[in-house]
Amino acid sequence: MDAKDLPSWITSLEAEDFQFIKNFVMNSGSLKEIAKFYGVSYPTVRIRLDKLIQKIQLSENSENEEFISFIKKLSIDDRISLEDAKMIIDKYKKEREDVK
């Protein structure tokens, strides 16, 4: 698979996200085993997984427009909440549809 063929959600992830995914797969998807591996509690791992899921969902739900990419980056960098990012993107998309 060429880099140009990668889904946009993959390109939005950071190195630590890929490492987490790798460790998750290598531990058969067991959050308990991942918690042991990282030396943290199960709820901490669950939160980490939930944030990763949110990143992927946000990327999947967005088009590759400059404004949307900017809002996604703010959310990923925890400068705005995921809920606010989704609300802004949804409003932006609705206004663009109304103009067409």
- The per-residue pLDDT for 63 is 52
**pLDDT of 39 above 90:** yes
The answer to whether residues 8 and 43 belong to one domain is: yes
Does residue 78 sit in the same domain as residue 40? no
Question: Which residues have C-beta within 8 Å of that of residue 54, sequence separation ≥ 6?
Answer: 82
pLDDT band at 4 (very low <50, low <70, confident <90, very high): low
Lowest mean pLDDT among 44-48, 78-82, 91-95: 91-95
Please state the separation of Cα 86 from the chain's center in Å.
Answer: 12
Q: Which residues are CB-contacts of 78 (< 8 A; sequence separation ≥ 6)?
A: none
Predicted TM-score (pTM) of this structure: 0.60
Let me know if 5 is exposed, middle or buried by CB neighbors in 10 A (0-12, 13-18, 19+). exposed
Tell me, yes or no, whether 55 and 93 share the same domain.
Answer: no
Residue 92 lies in domain: 63-100
Q: Does one domain contain both 6 and 55?
A: yes
Domain count, the chain: 2
User: And the tokens for 81?
Assistant: 């909440």
For range 54-76, the mean pLDDT: 77
Quick one: 36 and 71 in the same domain? no
Q: How far apart are the first and last CA of the chain?
A: 35
Please indicate, yes or no, whether residues 55 and 67 belong to a single structural domain of this protein.
no
